[in-house]
Amino acid sequence: MRAMVLHQQAPIETEPLVMAEVPTPEAGPGEVRLRVRACGICHTDLHVIEGELPAHRRPLIPGHQIVGEVDAVGPGVSESLLGHRLGVAWLHRSCGVCAFCRAGAENLCDNGEFTGYDADGGYAQYATAPADFAYELPASLPDVEVAPLLCAGIIGYRALRLAEIKPGGRLGLYGFGASAHIAIQIARHWGCEAYVFTRGEEHRRLALELGAAWAGRAEATPPRPLDSAIIFAPAGALVPEALRALRKGGTLALAGIYMSTIPPLDYQLLWGERTVRSVANSTRQDARELLRLAGEIPIHTEVEAFPLVEANRALRLLKEGKIRGAGVLKVD
């Protein structure tokens, strides 16, 4: 099969992903094999490729927002799944027996594995995954539109919950890429006012089109104090800016898997029982709830599609903030 393979972590500008012919994977016990139709691109892919996250295996096929059709099943998996369109997300598998898994927090599993990081992902014609970690997708959403839901959507949904935003509350969104443009649609569905902070003029326009009450730069002061805020951009310098905009008792959720250094904080920014918390991975329950909600709202994803061979260019545009909404690789 054809795949975009990473042999050595390097800046995306050097085009470290190489198109190669590699063996087609076989579905192992409890697994399905997907003929990949589409795979979303994500800042986490950039962190893996460029080395901000340590390498777990090499060579590696990245990609963890996979949409495909089941064309083979391994031992222990019903053949009734053949032909089904399923999605695969970041959490590849969890152990099911550690304290976190037993407590329903499999996203924190001591032995968790992640798609496109510990296991080969979807920048390829075929990919395998445990059947228990693959999801039925809303039939109303085409492949390229549903792919971003499998990470950007799921993480955005979990971040909304951990930010403790209530219906009718005022929500700040810092960074307006793939996750935020989905999260704002959920927040608006819940009757929340959304205030968007982003450096890109095009991103501010999209935010307003999607119902933001206000959009400005990160250092700007919103018209009203925020009840909750989420930082999607991997920029630690945004933390004090978001805390300044947050009312007493408010919660700030940090939704990235990686963030640059957070500057020293004046205690007054935290005083008043403000909470800062991270968002770490996601659970299968998060995925199921988000995908169900996506069909009900319905969520519309703004997508720019690229052929698989252009993965390096697509990721470079993502890094430069030049993708409107989400980027997706179309796989033949």
Q: Which CATH number goes with the domain that contains 293?
A: 3.90.180.10
Residues 12 and 143 in one domain: yes
Q: Report residue 332's pLDDT band, with 50, 70 and 90 as the boundaries.
A: confident
Residues 271 and 302 in one domain: no
- The number of domains in the chain is 2
Residues 260 and 293 in one domain: no
Q: How confident is the model over 97-118, as pLDDT tens digits? A: 999 999 999 999 999 999 999 9
CA distance 145 to 159: 21
- Domain end position, chosen among 234, 260, 278: 278
Residues 69 and 15 in one domain: yes
In this structure, are residues 265 and 239 in contact, taking their beta carbons and an 8 Å threshold?
yes
Residues 272 and 231 in one domain: yes
State the CB neighbour count (10 A cutoff) for residue 271.
9
Residues 286 and 214 in one domain: no
pLDDT at residue 233 above 90? yes
Residues 118 and 191 in one domain: no
Which CATH number does the domain housing residue 258 bear? 3.40.50.720
State the CB neighbour count (10 A cutoff) for residue 332.
10
Q: How confident is the model over 69-78, as pLDDT tens digits? A: 999 999 999 9
H or E element at residue 87: strand 85-88
CA distance 184 to 176: 9
Residues 109 and 207 in one domain: no
Mean pLDDT over each residue of the chain, to the nearest integer: 97
- Domain assignment of residue 138, given as a range: 2-150+281-330
In this structure, are residues 88 and 63 in contact, taking their beta carbons and an 8 Å threshold?
no
Residues 38 and 133 in one domain: yes
Q: How much is the average pLDDT of 305-321?
A: 97
Residues 302 and 258 in one domain: no
In this structure, are residues 173 and 183 in contact, taking their beta carbons and an 8 Å threshold?
yes
pLDDT at residue 13 above 90? yes
- Domain end position, chosen among 262, 278, 294: 278
Size (the chain), residues: 332
CA distance 222 to 38: 38
Residues 202 and 133 in one domain: no
Residues 295 and 268 in one domain: no
Q: Report residue 224's pLDDT band, with 50, 70 and 90 as the boundaries.
A: very high
